[in-house]
Amino acid sequence: MSVRSVRDNIAFIAATDGSIIAVGLPQATQIFTSATATFLTSGVSVGDIFVIGVLGAAGAQGTNAGTYRVFGITNENTVVLERMNGQDFTVATWVTGVAMAYRVHIAKTADSAGSVAGVHVGLASSSGYRVLARPLDASITNGQVLTPVVIPSAGSATSWDTLSGLTAYTRPTAVSGGNSLIYDANVHAPNVANNTTMSTRYTNAIDALVDDDYPARDINLVVAARKSSTIASKLNSHCSTASAQGLSRTCVISPTLTTFSLSTVLSSAYPGVGANRSERVFYAWPGSRMLVPEAIGFAITLADGTTTTDGVLDDPTDAWLMSAISSLQPEFDPAQEQEPIPTIFAPMLSAQTGAVDRQTLQEYITLRAYGVCGLKTDPSVGVIFQSGITTSLTGRKLITSRRMADYVQDSLAMKMKPFVKLPKTQARKDDCVSEANAFLANLLSAGNPQAQRISAYTLDGRSGNTQAMDAAGIYVIIVRVRLLGELLDIILNTTIGETVNVTEVPLST
């Protein structure tokens, strides 16, 4: 049982009787002993942080004072140490000494990887401590010291900046076999046309979502951060493939932020909407502008090629449309103006740089006709989508229709799963129909109109079955569900004036 402290900033071992015998220098590791230590009993682990010396009082520890990492535990009184930066111990940095003050802290007090005990060996080994890193615009050679842009003040006996002395260090070839940080434009650069390397990685990741295991099986809406013809096409085919295997799925795509013109959006070639027509594909355009406080003060390129430092950046709207869809029940149109849509879209300020902020009414009619969810800045509610439609021109055109069909089908399928492979008795068939009826009756909500989600339904557990199907172990229930549809247009037929003849009529029909 470990007696390590639960407080991250407290040393769980401390003493003043440490000793060192410097041998075989230069070496990747060195031995540290303490007559009173209980390294094993106290739960010291590989990767823990080992500090030699007392701040402001170097004393007997001499040049050995500093922070090290536990590479191994030999016995109760002996540990093997390595340097934090992976360099060798040398005669200039490691000397024989006794009566040394030391303390031990858990790994995560000084290691971004957290508790690494038993998972990795130290920097002195080939596996090392692995921290994901990549250079943004240049390769970094082996053994290079990386210092902060703003270097904190050095520590003293009376003051200390928590980041004082902070550096990073790429492992030298002599220790790790060569592990520089390589900049790969195909991976790290901003989006470029026909980026086959990144597109291949995206297609592989998307393909991996066709899986019956959790969490992939529970995904029903997909969006990709990068934009390319390959990725958009893969999302389209993925939704068809997954849905055909019982994993009902839809996706949202957007063109690149450099797609400004209406004619390009309406074209049949990517990035136009016509390149990926399917009732399982939703197309959002144009992009939007949003404030990113963390970007203030940094020069960042906008969609039209200009730069800004005010933190207001351009952002594709596919993820915004996905956020709206995932926050609504399937029968609700993401292009509505009711809550929670205004709250979800509140961070969006307007259409993206270089795009028309307000299309004409005819242009929005055209966008809808071509299957585009057009972004609109409404004077009364802010940024919304004008239409919640799929890219299909022949199948289900409304997002609500596609989503409700998936919802009803998937829900009924789950209701039937407990009956699969049981004896095919008439009573059990009736139970299947009863389960379906209970689910659909709840959606119809005849006794509570405010909770109504469908208009009508019928169930037929007889006419769809044949002797051949019965022999094959197949039982068919024909289900027909009429959806509520949407209030796409509300017409106010008005006659207003001082001499208008008014006759009372019912307030609703």
pLDDT per residue as tens digits for the range 308-326: 999 999 999 999 999 999 9
Its pTM stands at 0.67
> Which of 54-58, 192-196, 336-340, 359-363 has the weakest average pLDDT?
54-58
Res. 111 pLDDT band, cuts 50 70 90: low
**β-pairing verdict for 288-291 and 78-83:** unpaired
SS (H, E, C) 110-156: CCCCCCCCCCCCCCCCCCCCCCCCCCCCCCECCCCEECCCCCCCCCC
pLDDT per residue as tens digits for the range 58-80: 455 778 888 899 999 999 999 99
pLDDT per residue as tens digits for the range 408-455: 999 999 999 999 999 999 999 999 999 999 999 999 999 999 999 999
Residue 36: burial class (beta carbons within 10 Å; 0-12, 13-18, 19+): exposed
- For the chain, the domains span 13-132, 196-399, 421-509
Res. 490 pLDDT band, cuts 50 70 90: confident
Res. 96 pLDDT band, cuts 50 70 90: very high
Q: Tell me, what's the pLDDT at 185? A: 80
Residue 80: burial class (beta carbons within 10 Å; 0-12, 13-18, 19+): buried
Res. 2 pLDDT band, cuts 50 70 90: very low
Mean pLDDT, range 86-93, rounded to an integer = 86
Q: What percent of the chain has pLDDT over 70?
A: 88
**418 upstream amide cis, omega within 30 of 0:** no
Mean pLDDT, range 281-286, rounded to an integer = 97
Q: Tell me, what's the pLDDT at 194? A: 61
| 247 pLDDT above the threshold of 70 | yes
Res. 457 pLDDT band, cuts 50 70 90: very high
pLDDT per residue as tens digits for the range 175-215: 445 667 888 887 777 766 567 778 888 999 999 999 888 88
